[in-house]
Amino acid sequence: MHVDLSINLGGIRMKNPVMTASGTFGYGPEYADLVNLDTLGAIVVKGICLEPKTGNEPPRTAEVASGMLNAIGLPGPGVDGFVREYMPFLRRHDVPVIVNIWGRTLEEYAEVAARFSDVEGIAGLEINVSCPNIKEGSQVFGTHLDLFRKVLDAVRAATPLPLIPKLAPDVSNIADFARAAEESGANAVSLINSFPAMAIDIKTRKPRLANITGGLSGPAIRPIAVRLVWLAARAVSIPVVGIGGISSPEDALEFLIAGASAVAVGTANFTDPGTAGRVIAGIETYLREAGHQRVDDIVGSLRI
Residues in contact with ligand FMN by CB under 6 A are 21-24, 46-47, 70, 72, 74, 100, 128, 166, 193-194, 217-218, 221, 243-246, 266-267
Query: Least distance from C-beta 262 to ligand FMN, angstroms?
Result: 13
Give the residue closest to ligand FMN by C-beta: 23
The length of the chain in residues reads 304
Catalytic residue among 79, 90, 123, 131, which? 131
Strand order in the sheet with 61-64: 61-64, 67-70, 214-217, 195-197
How many Å apart are CA 254 and CA 282, to the nearest integer?
12
Separation CA 109–CA 103 (nearest Å) = 5
Q: How far is CA 54 from the centre of its chain?
A: 21
Q: Which is nearer to ligand FMN, 10 or 165 (CB)?
A: 165
The least CB distance from residue 13 to ligand FMN, in Å, is 22
CB of 166 to ligand FMN, least distance (A): 5
Which long-range CB contacts under 8 A does 37-41 form with residues at least 24 apart?
A: 37/93, 37/95, 38/93, 38/94, 38/95, 39/15, 39/277, 39/280, 40/15, 40/16, 40/95, 40/276, 40/280, 41/7, 41/14, 41/15, 41/16, 41/17, 41/95, 41/96, 41/262, 41/280
User: Among residues 3 and 194, whose Cβ is nearest to ligand FMN?
Assistant: 194
Active site residue 131: yes
Considering the complex, state which of residue 192 and residue 257 has its C-beta at the smaller distance from ligand FMN: 192
- Minimum Å gap between C-beta 291 and ligand FMN is 29
What is the C-alpha separation between 188 and 128, in angstroms, rounded?
A: 13
Give the residue numbers marked as catalytic.
Answer: 131
